[in-house]
Structure 1
Amino acid sequence: MASNDKVLSELSLSARSNFTPNTSVLINFPAGNRHQSAKLIGKLLTDNHAKHHCFFNEKRFHNHIVHHLLALYSLGADDKAIQDSYDREAPTQKPIGGINDTKVTIQNWTSFLGKAEYYKNYVDFFWEEIDNKGPIECIEEYIFGNPQNQMLNRSFSGWGYGLEYKINGIIVEGLAITAVHGANLSSLKLSELITKPKSSEASNGHTEKRHQQNAIPSPSFDFRCQEDSKTFKPKSGLSAFQIIHEISQEAELVDPIFQTYDTREQFSKVAEHPKLIPLLEKWEIEEDSDWAEILERTKELIWMVAVIYTTSYDREKGKFALNFFLMHLVTSSQFLPVILPNIDPRLRPILLKAFFRTAICIWVGQGRMELRITECMKEPSFMKIPDSENPKGSENPWFQILECAAKHPDEHTTKIIRTLSFGSNTYGTSQVGYYGCELKGSELLDSTLFLRLCVCCEIVIVSGAGAKSSQWRGGATVPTWTHSRTASTKSSVPIPTLDQRFRVFNLLSTLTGHHTQQCTKAAQKPYKRQVYERYEPLLGYDPSTSNRKNKKNGNGAIHLFKHLMPGNQDPDLDFTGIIDFKGHSPKLSMNTRRSTPETEENNNKGTSSSSDSSKRSSKAMRRKSTGHKYFFAINLYNSFDVIPDLFSTMFKVSAILGFQNVFVSVYENGSSDQTKALLRLFDGLSRSVGIRVVIRTSLRTRGAFHHRIEYLAEVRNAALAPLQELRDSEGELFDTVIFMNDVLPCQDDLLELIWQSRRQNAGITCGADYIFHEEIAQPVFYDNWVARDINGTALENAPFESIFRDPTSQHKFERHIPIQVQSCWNGIAILDPAPLYAHPRVRFRMAKLSEGECSASECSLICNDYWNAGYGRIVMVPRVKLAYDNRVWQIIHPDRKNLTVIRGYTRLGGTPDDPTADPQDRAWFGPHDRLFRFEESQEIQMKLEPAYVWCWGWDGAGDLDGPDVDPIWEPTKNLTFDPRIIRHDRGFDFNF
């Protein structure tokens, strides 16, 4: 007995105050001063343990500091790389917190499971338990103990590192993380796998035996399996790859149940699928399996997750996905060789079954993407990594891969390279076809898979010394690595000629069922001229050089606008009768330039100088605008009737902005009409005109018990997902996001919103949307649940004359002058994406009810978050009037021939509108082509956010018709950000 005590003493993990790591059992890259690095790691891990929570955001994404530091240490990173990693990640973490008046004890420890605010309390509790019982005993008791606690259904993140490096504090953190995680895997019946042993013999003496094995076996020997046959066959049941094949053929699992990992409830829905569990149960392993069988099935699982991650193909993007969440399957598999030797033999099959079920569930949840194994394994270029010094690639790329992984600033890159290195080193002798089965391409799998995965991620190429790397910091996105097997989306779409694009526009004009084919066709000539001059700075390319065949048409900009706004566009239009604000009658000319003392002086010298300056500045602005990038995000649901008009307008606006500068993301879900079928047609048409587009469709609908606002936020974030994917995978940034509902806009509506967004340097810019009110038989303003005046009051569901409560705002609204508001959405919103990129990223979300926040609309909340992030310059543009159906659109944009019967207006025969004298030009009902007033181009003098905002809330799931919580005056956070200060300059100055 004394001998056993001595062994246990020697192998016990580090004391509570000691976080210095032991030697890694997976891989140890040669390093310099190993002792000094271990001391630094211990210091940083101790600091993280004392200060930081296990989750760094509200979506419960994990604090990866521990994982990253230890992975860097095992790969031989120097002290600077280790310290820099901590300094970079520590400021983004949440404080550890804790509930001061509550102590977690052995009697009440199950009372707080799943509650993140009790993380610190669980840390204290598990320290006491490990001090009393030891780490292995605590893992067996609390993870694999009473199945009613569902600890196995939660997460075993973290404590694998503690076992590997023999650090008690990390095991404590891992157990605490497990306790505060949600039990999202309960439908996979993992806890039911826990059964009482058939006899006590299996566990008797287990403690002695495992410690005689020195706790953790060497991976170089103990985990190299003996392959006795050419093809793997399990003793019972089916192999993992055979089950993957059956799941791939299951028709009811075709449509992904969710496409982003925003909520853990969505993960549960996948696990609840009635077809899934019977298939998962075909993966069998006996409870009394010997060590050789455990090794064989562990190897199978490590191969399985590597294949799933490497070969999953995204059909929508036309490339291998390298999915962010599937990547975590690979990095978590590295702990199987660490955990299995340490736990009771009867628990080993339970752990392996739990891992298998979880991995398959995540793969299905991420869309059950096709595994293109053949395409992956037949690609010879993966075996070498070229660089500037050796274009043909080094003979052994692992040297370069491991060196760069030790320097890489992103924790996921370091972790996955470390795992793949272990896989290659341990299973590098596996023969071709060992896992061959019905799954297509499985007969080609060989030991090069782990190296292929490293190379195809292009980690070394994109992360050389000093290079920027992709950052995975959570949020609603599903980021991916740049893949060497597909061309960048920035150049993957061939650029058609203008003539080819015009042919597509003509086709679209025959498909549109509503107004967009005619909405600017009958516009008065002065308005068209104003449009040319006003929006010419938005041109995303130089028309004079983009297509020289069109030079015969004269000025390229005029030629482009002539097609998009049909009619007789003579560049020298007659402006007789038009009087601008200065009293000039020949023309309304607009200079587009930055205001400087020199340009102001030139303006005062005379018309000639002003005209020359305008021409020069206009060319300069066009050249500048070619660098602007526009991201369209569109949510659709039963939108069959509006899709043709929506896409037609978007195509024409993209022609102005430059197709190469535009990316379109459409997310449709739950439609019961033919929306999905029509989107397939417009996907092809979009690509034919050179627009990069991703259209994602899903059968997902809102469940009866799913909070409406949470659901809507998830749907909107799904449309925004490619914004982060393009940033993370290709380094492409956008400076304007156009978020569109299923409305019917004209091309000049969108251009005006974009123009005002840049003119005002606005965080959010929106128009005004209308629906028909049957009781009063006329359109009324619609989105009053979101829209709030700058004084905090709500706008009214009322006709044009009564929308704003504040007389000053109402006066501006009636004159179509842009208005600063506290919040708005109104069918189309133009967003400055800076808060969407910066940490902590702004996202659509539901209210933080636990903090007393009013359960407002997700669009109201994102406006609040823009204010809190310092981007509270929110503007409403009354000129842009939007409708959701053709009936309303015809009323709010009447033909000129109908003006005499609306409000008793009488036209002055034959003369064009005068924006200063014509009363109809300031009225709600039209015309759409009213001339621009000077006031519409002035910069708004921004005000501070109001102290209180009128809020209607939703009390939870159920009601779809409107807010059902009594309205309140909700105090704003009143942060120190002044909206008068421009934080992200996207604008340009305009002077008449």
Structure 2
Amino acid sequence: MPLARGVLNLPGITPQSRAYAQELLDRDFREHHCRYGPGFHNHLPHFLLAAYDLGAPPSVLNAIYAKDAKDLRPFELEGSNDLKVDRSNWKTHLGDDKAYAAYVAFFTNEVQSNGVAATIKAFVFSPSANEGEAKMLLRLIAGAAHPLIQIGYGLEFDNASLVISGLAQTAIHSDVIPELYTDILRDPSAPFLASSTPSLSLFAVLREFYASSVLVPVMPYDPDALLSKRRTDAFGDGSRAAEIVKIASLWTLPPSSPAEFWEEKLEEVLWAVILLLFGTSKPGRKYRLDFFVMHMVTSSIFLPAFFDKVLNGGTAEEGVYKAQLLQAFVRTTFAYLIMRGRPRLDAANIMHATPFPHPPSPTTPQSPKPNDPTVQEEAANPWMAIIASAIHAPEAHLPKTLRTLVYASQKYGLRQVGQVPGALDKDGKEVLPGLAVVDGSLFVRCAGVMMDVLGWVDYGQPEGNWDRSAMGWEDAWKND
């Protein structure tokens, strides 16, 4: 099946770019492992498809492949040739990096026999796939949600090979902080599934998260700590995991809810994760964008694809799966916030960014030169210059994040102040600082900030960096 267009449906995708992207994806699927080292993921297919969906021509796609492919490990790792996976032993090799090729062969057969949706439901969402130590839903969102991203790209672009490699990637990941998700996997009467409990909005749940005295950041701040160390420090005694479970369960998701309910919940997630990435810098300082929180933004765009192409039958069972996926996603987001020092959301700070971002040079073709220089900035469509520049980004995460921002703008860009779901309480007061001024212009403001932070490299700016300081700690800003 030919590669589909992505959800953005932007101009610029040609038959040539479509065929070229498909060829490079097929080559990557045949030749490369899904991780270029333990804990490090193959971003090549994500990079290719993000650039393709933004309108990159074949020459740019080829440059992306040439740059990223050289560091990837081979499809079959040394010592993996004798591994075989079938229905009788498919749980035996979970978490084993060397079993990737064997899982690809196994899931290829399953998808060919049963189809994409049925295979995902059987091996990711079903009780059998999550009983005992299997916990496939947890593996789906492990590794900064990269397995979810891989499958999500396959669903969105109708590419079965990406779904297959994503399922294999899910299988070889470990379940991380399993105590965060125990009730999701094993308790059919978990509070978040209750239909009789009025739900808080996700922003109201986030307010409870910030107010918790249990979820305070671990002190003292260690500027050199790796994520694994921050995870052990934060969740070693189990108290923070239990608190996150309690707070997240206030976001109730009754499985029998109608389609409009699930649409609103997906929208709540998108607003929340985007604001948590772009709205947690300190006022008066340069904007910072946390590397790990960013992955919750790049993965959030695929939640609708799971709903629309896998969990689309309207059954009670699929309603449970939707609720489990959203709860797992939110709890994972909360876990990353704790490991990043619980950075505080101040939405007004990002709303101070310009809604008319533009490249650094005022003489570029994207920047018009009207007679009145005071309206020059407002005279251009900022998305055109941002998208044109983003396809030349030197690393994958910028165009991946931009896709989520463009998607959010297309869906919610006309929201006015007060129309963001859950931003205001029943008395019209903002639930968290700054939410009272947020409207649909948020997404282009965020896109401009991202370009300024990471660099308009095709305009000569140096490449910038995602922030790894764990900026929730005050000491992370000492030398800013």
Q: TM-score range by the shorter chain?
A: 0.7 to 0.9
- 1:44: which partner in 2? 24
Rate the CA distance shift 1:381–1:22 in 2: closer, same or farther, 3 A. closer
- 2:210: which partner in 1? 248
- 2:370: which partner in 1? none
- 2:109: which partner in 1? 128
TM-score, structure 1 length as denominator?
Answer: 0.41
Q: Deviations over 1:552-584 (max 9, x none)?
A: xxxxxxxxxxxxxxxxxxxxxxxxxxxxxxxxx
SS in 1 for 2:138: coil
TM-score, structure 2 length as denominator?
Answer: 0.81
- 2:163: which partner in 1? 171
Q: Is the 8 A contact 1:37 1:79 kept in 2?
A: yes
- 1:376: which partner in 2? 350
Greater Rg, structure 1 or structure 2?
1
Q: Is the 8 A contact 2:227 2:339 kept in 1?
A: no
SS in 2 for 1:56: strand
Query: What residue ranges of structure 1 are gaps of 5+ in the alignment?
Result: 1-13, 15-19, 198-233, 482-667, 669-679, 684-692, 697-725, 727-992
Counterpart pick for 2:445 among 441, 448, 452: 452
Deviation at 1:327, TM superposition (A): 0.9
Counterpart pick for 1:462 among 417, 441, 456: 456
CA distance in 1: counterparts of 2:117 and 2:457, whole angstroms: 38
Q: 1:537-686 maps to which residues of 2 (within 5 A)?
A: none
Deviation at 1:343, TM superposition (A): 2.6
Look up the equivalent residue of 2:358 and give its one-letter code. Answer: I
Establish whether residue 21 from structure 1 lines up as the match of residue 6 from structure 2. Answer: no
- 1:140: which partner in 2? 121
Establish whether residue 307 from structure 1 lines up as the match of residue 275 from structure 2. Answer: yes
Deviation at 1:65, TM superposition (A): 0.6
Counterpart pick for 1:293 among 232, 237, 261: 261
SS in 2 for 1:286: coil
Q: Is the 8 A contact 1:28 1:76 kept in 2?
A: no
Counterpart pick for 1:70 among 29, 32, 49: 49
Q: 1:920-931 maps to which residues of 2 (within 5 A)?
A: none
Q: Is the 8 A contact 2:97 2:172 kept in 1?
A: yes
Q: Is the 8 A contact 2:417 2:438 kept in 1?
A: yes
Establish whether residue 56 from structure 1 lines up as the match of residue 41 from structure 2. Answer: no
CA distance in 2: counterparts of 1:28 and 1:185, whole angstroms: 37
SS in 1 for 2:443: helix
Rate the CA distance shift 1:254–1:305 in 2: closer, same or farther, 3 A. same
Q: 1:940-951 maps to which residues of 2 (within 5 A)?
A: none
CA distance in 2: counterparts of 1:260 and 1:176, whole angstroms: 33
Look up the equivalent residue of 1:172 and give its one-letter code. Answer: I
Establish whether residue 363 from structure 1 lines up as the match of residue 342 from structure 2. Answer: no
Q: Is the 8 A contact 2:36 2:42 kept in 1?
A: yes
Q: Is the 8 A contact 1:158 1:170 kept in 2?
A: yes
Counterpart pick for 2:358 among 365, 381, 385: 385
CA distance in 1: counterparts of 2:154 and 2:225, whole angstroms: 27
Rate the CA distance shift 1:384–1:192 in 2: closer, same or farther, 3 A. closer
Q: Deviations over 1:721-744 (max 9, x none)?
A: xxxxx9xxxxxxxxxxxxxxxxxx
- 1:81: which partner in 2? 60
Structure 1 or 2: more strand by fraction = 1
| Number of residue pairs aligned between Structure 1 and Structure 2 | 426
- 1:110: which partner in 2? 91
CA distance in 1: counterparts of 2:384 and 2:182, whole angstroms: 40
CA distance in 1: counterparts of 2:87 and 2:31, whole angstroms: 25
CA distance in 2: counterparts of 1:190 and 1:422, whole angstroms: 32
RCO higher in structure (CA 8 A, sep ≥6): 2
CA distance in 2: counterparts of 1:463 and 1:419, whole angstroms: 20
Deviation at 1:433, TM superposition (A): 2.2
- 1:267: which partner in 2? 231
Deviation at 1:450, TM superposition (A): 0.8
Rate the CA distance shift 1:380–1:465 in 2: closer, same or farther, 3 A. closer
- 1:689: which partner in 2? none
Q: Deviations over 1:769-816 (max 9, x none)?
A: xxxxxxxxxxxxxxxxxxxxxxxxxxxxxxxxxxxxxxxxxxxxxxxx
SS in 2 for 1:22: coil
- 1:425: which partner in 2? 410
Q: Deviations over 1:515-544 (max 9, x none)?
A: xxxxxxxxxxxxxxxxxxxxxxxxxxxxxx
Rate the CA distance shift 1:152–1:139 in 2: closer, same or farther, 3 A. same
SS in 1 for 2:81: coil
Rate the CA distance shift 1:260–1:126 in 2: closer, same or farther, 3 A. farther
Structure 1 or 2: more helix by fraction = 2
RMSD, matched Cα: 3.0
CA distance in 2: counterparts of 1:196 and 1:480, whole angstroms: 36
Rate the CA distance shift 1:261–1:22 in 2: closer, same or farther, 3 A. farther
Identity of aligned residues (%): 28
CA distance in 2: counterparts of 1:399 and 1:263, whole angstroms: 36
Q: Is the 8 A contact 1:52 1:94 kept in 2?
A: yes
CA distance in 2: counterparts of 1:38 and 1:261, whole angstroms: 42
- 1:541: which partner in 2? none
Deviation at 1:314, TM superposition (A): 5.7
Deviation at 1:71, TM superposition (A): 0.9
Deviation at 1:388, TM superposition (A): 2.1
CA distance in 1: counterparts of 2:392 and 2:470, whole angstroms: 20
Deviation at 1:82, TM superposition (A): 0.4
Look up the equivalent residue of 2:257 and give its one-letter code. Answer: S
CA distance in 1: counterparts of 2:3 and 2:355, whole angstroms: 34
Look up the equivalent residue of 1:337 and give its one-letter code. Answer: P
Q: Deviations over 1:661-697 (max 9, x none)?
A: xxxxxxx9xxxxxxxxxxx9xx9xxxxxxxxx9669x
CA distance in 1: counterparts of 2:282 and 2:433, whole angstroms: 17
CA distance in 1: counterparts of 2:225 and 2:8, whole angstroms: 31
Look up the equivalent residue of 1:75 and give its one-letter code. Answer: L
